[in-house]
Amino acid sequence: MVYYRVQLERADGPRAYLAGRGLGVLVQREWPWRIGYAPPGWNPLTRHLRASGFTAKELVDAGLAIRTRDDPDRLIDMFRDRIMFPVRDPAGHAVAFLGRSSPGTRDDVPKYINSPQTPIYNKGRLLFGVAEQQDRLSARWTPVLVEGPADVLAVWLSYSWSGRVGAVALAPCGTTLTDTQATVLRQLPGATQGLIAAFDADPAGHAALDRAWQLLRHPRPLGPLLAADFSVGADPADLLCRPNGKAQLRAALRRQAQPMLDRVVDHRLARLVERHPRLLENIDGRCAAVRLLVPLLLEAASPDEAIRVARRIVAQTGAGVDTVAIAALAHLEQVIHHLRPDTSGQPGTA
């Protein structure tokens, strides 16, 4: 990590990029994030570490270097020309990296690459930002699930550490949210105040939110499950660099957050309409949409939430209240039928 940090001090382009994204303070301030930079070239880090006594096997096993296909004895760096975010375990030890492509990189280059699985790193078990924000987590700040490290840092910079309750962002490490990560989120002290998902307002962000809902809702945490409200093309990192961006981001996370299940209803209907653009133009299509949406009523945490979601389905589809009620009862009968044990063929049954 020291190597990457020194390289950032010499890299004008990445430093300017971070400053332009509102993250310039993290270039000057080393702790707690220690952002760095992997320079271009095939193997500058490998040469540096080999000169320090590390073996080829150690570098490959650590996920810092890879063997070339044509010459397995030749190593190249895993990360080249990338802004580097260290991933730490809960004890604070750096166990992996997330590398973001530098500004001006070709469009066909992946925006992020991540360290591979190693003996000390399981990407499905860790959340980026936990070790660096123990003070805020212990103070029961509300957890916010975001997509990547820049979003974590945007939320971190939007709240000053003044002892007041705020929001603390965490992100999966280059994977979709896993069961283990969802369990970590539910067990955070601040989860009793609620959990907020803050994803991009695009199809990938919608899919991420829908997955988060399925993993976080059961067992249901004590606090509400909410979704931040972003316009299309905006996310926490984008808001940070706008005029008055920190205040806008805080508002999106708290005052403008909506129940997560409401957003799941909206996303499911939007996908239906995208596949069938004229779906809601006639009664048959509206009834079909209702039948596909009413199973979400059974995912509500309370009767009041189920009623709210039913009203949302009515408003979004244009169907009548009776149509939604009939479809809900029919779906409930199907669920009960599948849960009822099959007694056919047993003695005493007619």
**pLDDT tens, 270-287?**
999 999 999 999 999 999
Instruction: Tell me the torsion sign for CA atoms 160, 161, 166, 170.
Output: positive
Instruction: Tell me the torsion sign for CA atoms 319, 323, 325, 328.
Output: negative
Res 345 pLDDT > 90: no
Chain-wide mean pLDDT for the chain? Answer: 91
DSSP 221: P
Segment 44-81, tens digit of pLDDT = 999 999 999 999 999 999 999 999 988 888 999 999 99
- What is the enclosing helix (H) or strand (E) of 144? strand 142-146
Res 42 pLDDT > 70: yes
Q: How far apart are CA 281 and CA 275, in angstroms?
A: 14
In this structure, the dihedral spanned by the alpha carbons of residues 303, 305, 310 and 313, taken in order and rounded to 10 degrees, is: -160
Please provide the distance, in angstroms rounded to a whole number, between the alpha carbons at the two ends of the chain: 73
pLDDT band at residue 160 under the 50/70/90 scheme: confident
Look at residue 67 in the predicted model and tell me its pLDDT: 94
pLDDT band at residue 123 under the 50/70/90 scheme: very high
Residues 115, 63 contacting (CB under 8 angstroms): yes
**Averaged pLDDT, 253-264:** 92
**Averaged pLDDT, 38-42:** 95
| Best CA proximity match to 183, nearest among 130, 117, 236, 147 | 130
Res 267 pLDDT > 90: yes
| Residue 39 C-beta-side C-alpha neighbours within 13 Å | 17
DSSP 256: T
pLDDT band at residue 30 under the 50/70/90 scheme: confident
**Averaged pLDDT, 88-97:** 94
pLDDT band at residue 229 under the 50/70/90 scheme: confident
Look at residue 175 in the predicted model and tell me its pLDDT: 84
Look at residue 350 in the predicted model and tell me its pLDDT: 45
| Best CA proximity match to 177, nearest among 207, 150, 201 | 207
pLDDT band at residue 348 under the 50/70/90 scheme: low
Segment 282-326, tens digit of pLDDT = 999 999 999 999 999 999 999 999 999 999 999 999 999 999 999
Res 105 pLDDT > 80: yes
DSSP 260: H
Q: How far apart are CA 146 and CA 128, in angstroms?
A: 10
H-assigned helices in the chain:
2-9, 12-20, 25-28, 44-51, 56-61, 134-138, 149-158, 179-186, 203-216, 236-240, 245-253, 260-275, 283-293, 303-317, 321-339
Res 113 pLDDT > 70: yes
Residues 112, 99 contacting (CB under 8 angstroms): yes
pLDDT band at residue 347 under the 50/70/90 scheme: low
**Averaged pLDDT, 158-163:** 76
Look at residue 103 in the predicted model and tell me its pLDDT: 84
